[in-house]
Amino acid sequence: MSQENNRENEILESYRQRNQRPKDEPSFLAEIWDFVKSITISIIIVFLLTTFIVKPIRVDGSSMYPTLKDKQIGFSNIISLKVGGANRFDVVIVYVPQQDEYLVKRIIGLPGETISYRKDQLYINGFPIEESFFDQAYVADVKSKINGNFTTDFADVTLAENEYFLMGDNRPFSSDSRRFGPFKLENLISKDAYIIFPLDEIHFIIQ
């Protein structure tokens, strides 16, 4: 009786395995389809994140030094710009049509204002404005080496409505609105900077 039961169990187990194998082992085409779906979903998520929430950034060059350093990697906040608007001294990601690239700069002048620089002093509508974000030790060091002003003098620039004047923090070594002219609001992509790499240089710049 025991032998018959064992035999019966073997037959049932064999039958069960044969019938479940197609479910347990998906076909090659099914695996390919699952892979394609995963890649597609990932691409959509990345697109939505980088279009509506954050803008990845990689600092290229020294135009924002020492605020930001060459090769630093992080992201900037798209939502913050949309909700909070563009304000003076915000660090922003701007699209430069002349070069078809994105740069990190700081907002200096706002729509409708007249700005100028004389003897390293910023003037807005004729009134002196302090730029407290500067690393004064670095500014003094650069001035001693170039034997001149940190920010080259320039005459009045009057901004139209919807125009912003942007400059890099490392003034002698920055290509900005002094070269490209004012930027329109639609050229501003995001603001603030959250540096996450290198790990020993993690810091956030939120105005």
User: Of 63, 76, 174, 177, which is the active-site residue?
Assistant: 63
Q: How far apart are CA 162 and CA 44, in angstroms?
A: 32
- Greatest alpha-carbon pair distance for the chain in Å reads 108
Identify whether 174 is a catalytic site residue.
no
CA dihedral 13, 16, 18, 20 (to 10 degrees): -140
* Strand ranges in the chain using DSSP code E only, listed in sequence order: 54-58, 73-77, 91-96, 101-109, 114-118, 121-124, 127-129, 154-158, 163-167, 183-184, 188-197, 203-205
User: Of 55, 76, 105, 190, which is the active-site residue?
Assistant: 105
Identify whether 71 is a catalytic site residue.
no
Q: Could you give the residue numbers annotated as active site?
A: 63, 105
